């Protein structure tokens, strides 16, 4: 079974309200925004908000030759990245925070490379653990607690993580897996996953993590046995690239040059044909009616046969609803109704955001997509610069849209694309003066609620859950502090670098945190200066200012230096839009996925599964059929272990404690995957 899981002690947890974004006036707001910039950017102001990141990291210039920049780091940050100080244990660890408060890295972790001794932890935010017990720890309900621990930290000096960013071939037939353990009898369907599988075409590489051509993976469960299969989605982007042996359609971070075989006049005019939007559906797969679609974040979705993994047809959502593109993270209700969000052209020739509703399976067997409709529209803070939207929140009665300061410059998108050959990444910019806007709307009937909810600047990709409680909307998200675009750090040259370089790059990136925001629904103007949040179980606040703005301060549910809790999942079938307790996530260690995490959002306890030189994917929760508790079920994840005899496997974990139930190993490696689903 391997060495099981192990504890990583360079996490730092907060159980108090975040102190990094206390807004009281315009001047303090600007100071907050300046302080939210990564360390290197405070000394020398760049010409544009993203310029410092573009210069320092692995952003390929217009000629597509990526360069590697270097920035001297403070000596204490260099010395902080230390080697392991203990042996991995054989069981998953339950990790509990002490109490609130931040301390310096030296105070929290001791001298570089030295194991920590038994110590008191008042106002401590680091995790203490008895190495002999998987359920020991320093409880937040026990003030002044102490316990002994050793620093156990996974480093990746061999760089085996580079394998998950390499091209692989599709399979002609399913491979039988070698089973260790016992596959639960209620698993009788398929685990479907999507991600990039082709990282270069001919002599032309793709440059960004989100550029590789879409590859669908499938693990089938039948009678306690497991098979593995994969195929490329035959999108226009893929078929044309393979046919012409070059990049034909511009991707997220890779520009497609005109065909060099054309004469100079043909090549010149090809620049002025307008934007040819990619259909490279590498992000997620979800059901619409009785069909399944592989998706990205454009207006194109691709119908696939989930039994054979054959590509069926390409669908343009613009033919059915006013939308420029939709996210890869819809909300799906129990009857199959699909809700999604995307930007659009709104009133007065300005940009806006539409919530789109696709009905469930139709009695007359017609295509539900043909009956799509817009149910509500959110305004944009800037007329021609919509925010990048990756997901949204939905409770029983409300939609929540978080408008971040990461903007798409539409004019640049439409003009520069044709004139000088830009890619999608060139069209993003961060507006550090806007902070973050929270918008809410009623579901039935669709109605925008025009209150000014504001917060300090964050980056946001994934909502965890959104629910209503006693006149409040609770919004839990995986946030990145500050206004800088995290995708600036996901160039493949960055992720394929040696481990020390990966860590140095991540030191410059925004700090990840799991945050809880609370939005009051009952608002009275006479309550200026007062915290409107009265929920007893959270320290999140909402304070109205004299201009009617309601300033939101979050409660931090989890925070660890360069350790992200991302790709979150919950018991969605029973607890989506409801008060819940557990979230599951993929742990990113300086952007490298190397652990599976469980978080109790009420107590802030965490559990971790981890093995050396093993790189898991987003964990998907499948409930036990007769399960009663919220976490009665299993987690399914694909793990890549490049040094193993069978380097790819599907792992089944007990959702209660992250103990291993079974694994199904195959004799082939697998590239990184982003999202997916379990199809019963």
Annotate 56-122 with DSSP letters as a single string.
Answer: HS----TT--------PPPHHHHHHS----S---SS-EEE---SS----HHHHH-STTPPP-SEE-T
Residue 482 is predicted with a pLDDT of 95
Return the H-helix or E-strand segment holding 180: strand 178-181
- Per-residue confidence at 434, pLDDT binned at 50, 70, 90? confident
Mean per-residue pLDDT for 119-132?
31
In our burial notation (b when 16+ CB lie closer than 10 A, e otherwise), range 165-197 reads bbbbeebeebeebebbeebbebbebbbbbbbbb
Q: Which range among 72-76, 308-312, 539-543, 674-678 shows the weakest confidence by mean pLDDT?
A: 72-76
C-beta of residue 149 within 8 angstroms of C-beta of residue 131: yes
What is d(CA 247, CA 257) in angstroms, rounded to the nearest whole number? 8
pLDDT reported for residue 101 = 30
pLDDT tens for 518-545 read 999 999 877 789 999 999 999 999 999 9
Q: Is the pLDDT of residue 301 over 80?
A: yes
Check: CB of residue 284 under 8 Å from CB of residue 675: yes
Question: How much is the average pLDDT of 52-67?
Answer: 36
Q: Which residues contact 324 (CB under 8 A, 6 or more apart)?
A: 299, 318, 342, 343, 344, 345
The two tokens of residue 602 are 């009420």
- Tokens 């940050």 -> residue: 77
Which of 641, 580, 579 has the alpha carbon at shortest distance from 612?
Answer: 641
| Residues 6 or more apart in contact with residue 59 via CB below 8 angstroms | 53, 66, 253, 425, 488, 491
For 390, residues 6+ apart whose C-beta sits below 8 A from its C-beta are: 297, 327, 328, 329, 460, 461, 462
Measure the CA angle with vertex 464, ends 459 and 468; round to 5°.
Answer: 110
**pLDDT over 80 at 601, yes or no:** yes
CA distance 388 to 461: 9
- For the CA atoms of 598, 601, 603, 606, what is the dihedral angle to 10 degrees? 20
What whole-number distance in Å separates Cα of residue 67 and Cα of residue 71?
13
pLDDT-wise least confident of 155-169, 403-417, 578-592, 611-625:
403-417
pLDDT digits (tens, 9 = 90+) for 452-505: 999 999 999 999 999 999 999 999 999 999 999 999 999 999 999 999 999 999
How far apart (Å, rounded) are the C-alpha atoms in residues 404 and 21? 15
Domain boundary assignment for the chain = 26-48+58-80+183-342+351-356+372-679
Supply the pLDDT for residue 420. 58
Of the ranges 57-66, 120-129, 583-592, which one carries the lowest mean pLDDT score? Answer: 120-129
What contacts 139, CB < 8 A, 6 or more positions away? 96, 98, 145
Exposure string for 419-440, b = 16+ CB within 10 A, e = fewer: eebbbbbbbbbbbbebbbbbbb
Q: Mean pLDDT of all residues in the chain? A: 80
Tell me the average pLDDT across 580-585.
Answer: 98
Report whether 155 contacts 197 (CB < 8 A). no
What tokens appear for 467 in the block? 């629910």
Instruction: Choose between 345 and 259: higher pLDDT.
Output: 345
For 239, the token pair is 């078929």
**∠ CA 512-407-64, rounded to 5°:** 90
Residue partners of 338: CB distance under 8 A and separation at least 6:
286, 288, 330, 331, 332, 357, 358, 368
CB atoms within 10 A of CB 144: 12
Q: What per-residue confidence (pLDDT) applies to 338? A: 98
Cβ atoms of 431 and 386 within 8 Å: the answer is: no
C-beta atoms surrounding 264 within 10 Å: 8
**pLDDT in the model for residue 345:** 80
As a whole number of angstroms, the distance between CA 287 and CA 310 comes to 16
CB 560 within 8 A of CB 12: yes
- Token pair for residue 150? 């050793």
Specify whether the CB–CB gap between 311 and 269 falls below 8 A. Answer: no
Q: How many other C-beta atoms are found inside a 10 Å radius of the C-beta of residue 674?
A: 20
138-158 pLDDT per residue, tens: 333 322 222 223 344 689 999
Q: For residue 414, what pLDDT band results from cuts at 50, 70 and 90?
A: confident
> Which of 660, 672, 669, 655 has its CA nearest to residue 591?
672
**Spatial CA neighbour of 9 closest among 102, 95, 107:** 95
R_g of the chain computed on alpha carbons: 24
* pLDDT tens, residue by residue, 203-214: 999 999 999 999
What local confidence, expressed as pLDDT, does residue 37 receive? 38
Tokens describing residue 97: 């925070």
Residue 21 has pLDDT above 50, yes or no: no
How far is the C-alpha of 47 from the C-alpha of 45, rounded, in Å?
7
Q: Is residue 549 over pLDDT 50?
A: yes
């Amino acid at each position: 079974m391997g060495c099981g899981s192990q504890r990583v002690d360079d996490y730092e947890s907060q159980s108090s309200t975040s102190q990094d974004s206390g807004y009281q006036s315009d001047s303090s707001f600007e100071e907050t925004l300046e302080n939210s910039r990564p360390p290197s950017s405070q000394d020398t102001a760049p010409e544009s908000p993203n310029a410092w990141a573009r210069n320092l990291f692995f952003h390929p210039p217009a000629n597509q030759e990526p360069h590697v920049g270097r920035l001297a780091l403070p000596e204490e940050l260099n010395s902080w990245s230390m080697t392991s100080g203990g042996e991995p244990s054989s069981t998953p660890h339950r990790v509990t925070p002490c109490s609130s408060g931040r301390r310096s890295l030296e105070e929290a972790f001791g001298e570089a490379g030295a194991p920590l001794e038994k110590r008191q932890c008042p106002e401590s935010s680091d995790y203490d653990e008895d190495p002999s017990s998987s359920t020991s720890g320093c409880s937040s309900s026990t003030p002044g607690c102490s316990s002994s621990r050793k620093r156990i930290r996974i480093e990746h000096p061999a760089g085996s993580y580079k394998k998950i960013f390499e091209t692989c071939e599709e399979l002609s037939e399913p491979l039988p897996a070698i089973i260790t353990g016992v596959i639960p009898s209620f698993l009788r369907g398929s685990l479907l996953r999507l991600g990039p599988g082709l990282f270069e075409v001919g002599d032309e590489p793709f440059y960004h993590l989100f550029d590789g051509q879409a590859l669908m993976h499938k693990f089938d469960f039948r009678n306690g046995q497991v098979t593995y299969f994969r195929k490329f989605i035959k999108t226009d982007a893929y078929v044309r690239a393979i046919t012409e042996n070059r990049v034909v359609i511009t991707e997220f971070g890779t520009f497609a040059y005109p065909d060099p075989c054309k004469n100079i006049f043909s090549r010149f005019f090809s620049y002025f044909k307008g934007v040819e939007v990619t259909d490279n559906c590498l992000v997620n797969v979800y059901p619409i009616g009785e069909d399944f679609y592989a998706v990205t974040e454009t207006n194109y979705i691709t119908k696939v046969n989930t039994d054979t993994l054959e590509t069926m047809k390409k669908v343009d959502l613009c033919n059915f609803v006013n939308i420029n593109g939709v996210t890869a993270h819809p909300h799906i209700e129990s009857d199959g109704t699909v809700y999604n969000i995307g930007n659009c052209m709104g009133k007065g020739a300005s940009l806006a955001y539409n919530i789109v509703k696709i009905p469930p399976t139709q009695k007359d067997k017609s295509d539900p997509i043909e009956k799509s409709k817009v149910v509500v529209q959110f305004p944009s803070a800037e007329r021609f610069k919509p925010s990048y939207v990756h997901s949204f929140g939905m409770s029983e009665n409300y939609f929540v849209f978080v408008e971040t300061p990461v903007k798409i410059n539409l004019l640049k998108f439409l003009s520069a694309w044709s004139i000088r050959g830009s890619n999608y990444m060139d069209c993003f910019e961060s507006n550090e003066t806007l902070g973050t806007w929270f918008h809410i709307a009623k579901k039935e009937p669709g109605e925008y609620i025009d209150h000014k909810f504001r917060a300090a600047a964050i980056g946001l990709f994934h909502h965890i859950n959104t629910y209503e409680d006693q006149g409040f909307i609770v919004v839990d998200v995986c946030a990145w502090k500050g206004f800088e675009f995290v995708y600036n750090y996901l160039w493949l040259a960055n992720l394929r670098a040696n481990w020390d370089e990966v860590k140095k790059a991540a030191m410059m990136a925004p700090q990840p945190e799991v945050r809880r925001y609370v939005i009051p629904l009952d608002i009275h103007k006479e309550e200026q200066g007062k915290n409107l949040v009265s929920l007893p179980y959270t320290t999140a606040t909402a304070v109205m200012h004299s201009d009617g703005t309601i300033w939101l301060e979050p409660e931090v549910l989890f925070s660890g230096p360069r350790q992200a809790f991302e790709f979150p999942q919950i018991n969605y079938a029973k607890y989506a839009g409801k008060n819940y307790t557990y979230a599951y996530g993929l742990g990113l260690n300086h952007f490298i996925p190397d652990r599976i995490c469980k978080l109790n959002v009420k107590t802030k306890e965490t559990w971790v599964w981890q093995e050396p030189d093993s790189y898991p994917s987003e964990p998907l929760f499948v409930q036990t059929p007769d399960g009663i508790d919220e976490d009665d079920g299993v987690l399914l994840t694909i793990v890549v272990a490049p040094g193993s005899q069978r380097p790819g496997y599907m792992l089944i974990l007990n959702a209660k404690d992250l103990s291993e139930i079974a694994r199904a190993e195959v004799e082939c490696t697998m590239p990184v995957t982003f999202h997916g689903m379990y199809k019963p």
